[in-house]
Chains A and B, each alone.
Chain A
């Protein structure tokens, strides 16, 4: 029997994870604050730990946690960062 699918097959496939780096030395890590409560102190600590392991870091924020990041934010992370850490919830 043929059915009309409610799914959009084009977006169903999972995107594979990027390869994991073996070392953080010399890598640039984007620290994304989604502006949830206490995300900044969490990222402060993560930043401290990453720098101690030889990583470069930069901070970037979403305008609001409740919507997807603006294209400019995603672009900047992609251009400047090798990895990203997101402070997700409060």
Chain B
């Protein structure tokens, strides 16, 4: 490295403003008669980031504890510039920033920016050891590895366990809006952060694959001012295998698998994808759904074919469906005595979602039908298709009633007595059974509008 004449070794680290000042000047002096070699007291990733931040294009050397090169040159402050001759012998040392000295050593004039001299900062060699310093969990917040709640630190050991032998470099694709690559290593880091157990990882991977399908439009869903989050719907044997809760409190807290799988996907979108609330995520209000939600279907109590079978998968398959949606709206109905009456109540609740007069919508609403409500439809012999059609037909109003506030072009151009549906098609209505045995509370997750987003279903692959 040192062959061919004197070299200027410049020791720096990324917590030191004087180091950054020196590096920005050195960035303007690349090609000087005396070659400068930057030695960062940082791990490689941080050294590269420091170089990018200060405009350095040449190679930067990384050194990690115990900082042998710094110690060999008795570096106690940064920046320190050491002139090393062709034989590797140090001939001169400059501590701190001194523009005139750097100009002399490099043999170039440097831009006259900032102070001509500035004291440096302590070298990492003189810092006290990290033990006893920043708490490990607090450190996660410092690094931004969070959705605002505490996380599990993604140590190499934990991430390796999550990967279970899978290749950490394999990419599932770039994640909008920042286009960070969703390598399996990063997805596993998010799964660890979220609190997943390793056996959940195939479901997390399938959810990321689904969310990255172009028709899901993760970009639009991430950056919109509307509050949409992403619901993860799990159907098939994965529910039992991972002990997902599809019964009492199915949309609420209390079960690790439900809470952490939805959160893991959310962390991939937020951290790897850069959809940070208040930055590229421009949601006016946001919603609790943006923390993540994983809903499991109660296939045993459902009178209908499974959600994944309805979507074209084998009965034995486990699937993950991602749906951009609003937070659940609870619909109480303890009084209806006919399926028609109950369908009407569900339809009316959903009709007010997004905006009460914005009809029709070419977007999806997910009805989570509680077991008691499902039993009423089942005892009347209603199929899913029949219920879907009944909800669709019940959510119909004359255009004249909808011509106020936020109204669609179709409503504005229709005769007052023209019937308008809430949805463009009954197929925009998704039905899923979940919830406790007792209590007649169903729920509907309202649509994410205008993004052209579609629910995407992927089969869980357990071994790859």
Contact = CB atoms under 8 A, between A and B. Distances in A.
Contacts of A9: 45, 48-49
Contacts of B52: 13
B224 A8 contact: no
Interface stretch (A22-30, A48-56, A60-68): A60-68
Nearest to B188: A4
Nearest to B450: A66
Dominant secondary structure at the A interface: loop
Contacts of B225: 89
B154 A4 contact: yes
B219 A3 contact: no
A6 B144 CA distance: 10
A9 B143 CA distance: 13
Contacts of B58: none
A5 B186 contact: yes
Contacts of B49: 9, 12-13
Contact of B179 (A11, A64, A65, A67): A11
A6 B236 CA distance: 29
Contacts of A12: 49, 178, 180, 274
B271 interface: yes
Given A3-B155, A4-B156, A66 B180 contact: no
Contacts of A10: 180-181
B178 A1 contact: no
Given A2-B156, A4-B185, A11 B220 contact: no
Contact of B186 (A1, A2, A8): A8
Contacts of B139: 1
Interface in A60-83: 64-68
B200 interface: no
A66 B214 CA distance: 12
A3 to B, nearest CB: 5
Contacts of A67: 217, 219-220, 452
A33 B376 CA distance: 51
A87 to B, nearest CB: 15
| Interface range on chain A (Cβ under 8 Å from partner) | 10 to 19
A13 B55 CA distance: 11
Contacts of A1: 130, 136, 139, 153, 155
| Interface range on chain B (Cβ under 8 Å from partner) | 35 or more
Given A11-B179, A66-B219, A4 B224 contact: no
Given A13-B49, A13-B53, A66-B452, A7 B272 contact: yes
A42 to B, nearest CB: 17
Interface string B189-211: 11011000000000000000000
B193 A64 contact: no
Contacts of B177: 68
A68 B214 CA distance: 12
A3 B145 contact: yes
A89 to B, nearest CB: 8
B434 interface: no
Nearest to B153: A3
Contacts of A5: 45, 143, 145, 154, 186, 189
B234 interface: no
Interface in B48-70: 48-49, 52-53
Name which of A4, A7, A9, A11 has the most chain B CB atoms within 10 A of its CB.
A4
Nearest to A8: B180
Nearest to B191: A6
Nearest to B144: A7
8 contacts: A1-B155, A3-B143, A4-B186, A6-B189, A6-B268, A12-B49, A65-B450, A66-B224
The 3 closest A-B pairs by CB, nearest first: A8-B180, A66-B220, A6-B271
Given A2-B43, A4-B168, 8 more contacts: A4-B159, A6-B186, A6-B190, A6-B271, A7-B272, A8-B179, A9-B48, A89-B225
